[in-house]
Amino acid sequence: MAPAEPVPPVLDLDGVSVTVPRRPEPILRDVTLRLDRGEHLLVVGASGSGKSTLLQAITGVVPHSVLAELTGAVRVNGRPTVESTVVELSGHVGTLAQDPSSGICLPDVEQELALPLENHAVPAEQISGRIDDALASVGAGGLRSRRTDQLSGGEGQRVALAAALITGPELLLLDEPTSMLDPAGVTAVREAIDAAAAAYGPAVVLVEHRLDDYAGEAGVAGLPGRVIVLGDRGDVVAAGATAEVLTAHAARLHAAGCWLPLEAELRAVTGLAGGLAAPPVREALRGLSTPDGAPHEVRPAARSGGGQTVLAVEGLAVSRDAPDRGSRRARRRGVPVERGTQYLLQDVSFRLRTGEVTALLGSNGAGKTSLLLTLAGLVAPAGGTVTGARPGMVFQNPEHQFLAHRVRDEVGHGPADAPPGYVDGLLGRHRLSHLADQSPYRLSGGEKRRLSVAAMLAHERPVLLADEPTFGLDRRDALATTAALRSAAERRSVLFSTHDLRTVAAAADRVLVIADHTLIADGPALQVLRDRSVLGRAGLRLPPLLEWLLAEFDGDEQVRRVLHRLDTAVPAEAAPAGSAARTAGTAGAGAPDATATVSTTGDRS
């Protein structure tokens, strides 16, 4: 390269459109953008707006590995991607994907990090030092000698990040890097990304919808400085400085299912700037707490102790390695606990009543999933009893639970002798009617979740257990899921585990908290959330909004009313345009359906 020549931008997209077979409308439409060395860009948009396709076009997966037609030009370091293979581009582009378990390919951390260096012919004597540097840059120096299958999600993502950066690419692509992590993992990976980006200095493209978690305490300032917003048609509907765009388009983004940083969300709802610290915003929130007489706006307080007990748990103990109930060993030996067994949980007693939504809280590894499996009868109790009719359970990953090859059959699997129209009714209530003949595996994340809930409800069990049902969903889908749980509780008892305290405050009547190997709290949701010692013991942290609301209002109804209005205010008024065309278009391609409108109040009634 002659020194006089200007340095080409790291990334240059010029009128890029992407079309896939069996879908008449382009997924990505006329996208033009330019990223200079070291610049950071945020890409937001609803699910199905083409965010992932944009990243694939940059890595060269589109059009090299995926059957798709790309028009316009994508240039990385001035070189058109159509002329280089994905592997050739890998020297310039590092990628960190969502799922830690498939982002790591080799059994040992060291080998994982050595692989990119070996592939790029780095002299062997430099490799060890560069592995140390890369791990140090993501704050994971201690992981060097570990096996990759023993890493937590947050650790795995940091190792994958180190592997993406170790060859020093000019461009780093982050595809919802924290969406599958628990709060501790989010913080660790978030800090690792900042530190590693500072150490290696690549330009960064971040695709993310959970902006509130990703930004963390810093708010909008914790996000990349520039943003583009992709609309439902796959076009760029807004671009510019992040603070300005998020403010100007807050309502649209909110409606598209993004979790905005708090100040942008408050701006979208109240129209006022300044965030929670600003007195006018606080005044507006106080205004949201007063009743306006609208029916069904806030659900009635749970009948305390009024519902019928459907599951009674007495002195339950859960051990780490209890065998499956039904295995020969368990049946032969009865309760299979030897002396000295380390209990995961013990002395757990509570009752679940019809009409109640109960949230199960606890830090990672506290035993939430094991407790739910035990209640569902899938793992034998290590002590104590669980009495009541057999509960249903929705698993964290909906794909683990699918039994049929069509959505309709999936829902119809449960009821043996359902009255005519029963299945159609359930499909309709969970907005799955238009997908009835599709394969469950080809739905979007939110649709899969709705289907797994609907299919479990079809079994008509008196208790519904759900393991982190809103995990990894965008905001629209998360709200739809909690609404479905609420309406399910009208005739059942619902117990769901979660990390999201705002969801708990908005949707749960009651909270169970596990910590220190036992149940440490059982009471009305907001009462438990106000108890600092309980939160401290369980390692839970209130998000700033909830912290302020709980301090500001003594009445639970007021807190709930504000949260409810924040959740429903925006999506209800802004239904995305062109929904019919997109729904038809996605039917065959299995791409996510971005346009199902959310009506949380409707589901509740």
Partner 1 sequence: MSAPAVGRPAGAAAVGVLARRNPTVKLGLLFVVSLVLVFILDPVTPAVLYVLALIAVAASTRIAPRALALLHLPFAAFGLGVFLVNALSRPGEVLWSAGPLRITVEGLSVGASLALRTLVIGVLAIGFIASTDGVRLMHSLHQQARLGPRVTYAVLAGYRMLQEMPREWQTIRQAHAVRAPLRPDGTLPRGATALARASFALLVISVRKGERMAQSLESRGLGLSPRTTWRPVRLSAADWLMAAGVLAVLGAVLLVSAMLGHLEGIDALFG
- Which residues contribute to the site for partner 1 (CB under 8 A)? 59, 61, 65, 86-88, 90-91, 93-95, 97, 99, 101-108, 111, 114-124, 127-128, 145, 147-149, 160, 163-164, 167, 324-326, 331, 373, 376-379, 390, 392-393, 395, 397, 399-403, 413-414, 441, 455-456, 459
Nearest distance, CB of residue 357 and partner 1, angstroms: 19
Give the pair of three-digit tokens for residue 470: 């809103």
Residue 117 or 229: the one with the smaller Cβ distance to partner 1 is 117
**Polymer length of the chain:** 605
Q: Which is nearer to partner 1, 339 or 400 (CB)?
A: 400
Report in angstroms how near the CB of residue 590 gets to partner 1 at its nearest: 12
Considering the complex, what minimum distance in angstroms separates the CB of residue 306 from partner 1? 28
- Which residue's CB is nearer to partner 1, number 93 or number 181? 93
- Closer to partner 1 by Cβ: residue 327 or 527: 327
| 400 contact partners, CB below 8 Å, separation of at least 6 | none
Q: CA-to-CA distance for 251 and 28, rounded, in angstroms?
A: 22
Query: At closest approach, how far in Å is the CB of 380 from partner 1?
Result: 11
Closest CB 27 distance from partner 1, rounded Å: 18
* Helix, strand, or coil (residue 370): helix
Residue placing its CB nearer to partner 1 in the complex, 544 or 590: 590
Q: Which CB sits closer to partner 1, 90 or 595?
A: 90
User: In whole angstroms, how close is the CB of 75 to partner 1 at the nearest point?
Assistant: 18
Residue 117 CB contacts under 8 Å (≥ 6 apart), including other chains: 126, 127, 130, 131, 166, 167
Tell the smallest beta-carbon distance from residue 119 to partner 1 (Å): 4
Q: How many CB atoms sit inside 10 A of residue 290's CB?
A: 9
Distance CA 378, CA 326 (A): 8
Q: 105, 112 in Cβ contact below 8 A? A: yes
| Nearer Cβ to partner 1 (222/377) | 377
Residues 6 or more apart in contact with residue 297 via CB below 8 angstroms: 291, 561, 564, 601
**Between residues 95 and 568, which has the closer beta carbon with respect to partner 1?**
95
261 vs 392, which CB is nearer to partner 1?
392
Q: Determine phi and psi for 408, rounding to 5 degrees.
A: -65, -45
Helix axes 445-457, 475-488, angle to 10 degrees: 10
Please, what's the largest Cα pairwise distance for the chain? Answer: 82
- Residues in contact with 88: Cβ distance below 8 Å, sequence separation at least 6, in sequence order: none
Torsion of CA 476, 601, 489, 376, to 10 degrees: -10
Q: How far is the CB of 325 from partner 1 (least distance, A)?
A: 7
Number of neighbouring beta carbons within 10 Å of residue 499? 21
Phi, psi of 295 (to 5 degrees): -70, 150
Q: CA-to-CA distance for 453 and 203, rounded, in angstroms?
A: 41
Tokens describing residue 357: 């939504």
Q: How far is the CB of 273 from partner 1 (least distance, A)?
A: 40
Nearest to 177 by CA among 168, 186, 165, 166: 186
Q: β-strands 171-175, 203-207: how paired?
A: parallel
Measuring CA to CA, how many Å separate 95 from each of 55, 148, 168, 207, 543?
9, 18, 12, 11, 30
Distance between CA atoms of residues 118 and 110, nearest Å: 12
- Residue nearer to partner 1 on the CB measure, 455 or 508: 455
Record the tokens describing residue 269, joined without a space.
């709802």
- Smallest gap from Cβ 102 to partner 1, in A, equals 4
The token pair at 228 is 């583009």
Count of CB atoms situated within 10 Å of the CB of 101 = 12
Closer CB to partner 1, 248 or 404, in the complex? 404
Judged by beta carbon, residue 453 or residue 559, the one nearer partner 1 is 453
The distance of closest approach from Cβ of residue 561 to partner 1 in the complex, given in angstroms and rounded to an integer, is: 36
Instruction: Number of helices (H) and strands (E) in the chain: give both, helices first.
Output: 26, 19
Place of tokens 């739910």: 372
Q: At 493, list the tokens.
A: 């008892």
Q: How far is the CB of 483 from partner 1 (least distance, A)?
A: 23
Of the pair 167, 558, the CB lying nearest partner 1 is at 167
Q: In angstroms, give the least distance from the CB of 86 to partner 1.
A: 5
- Cα separation, 319 vs 340, in Å, equals 11
CB of 307 to partner 1, least distance (A): 23
Nearer to partner 1, 52 or 270 (CB): 52
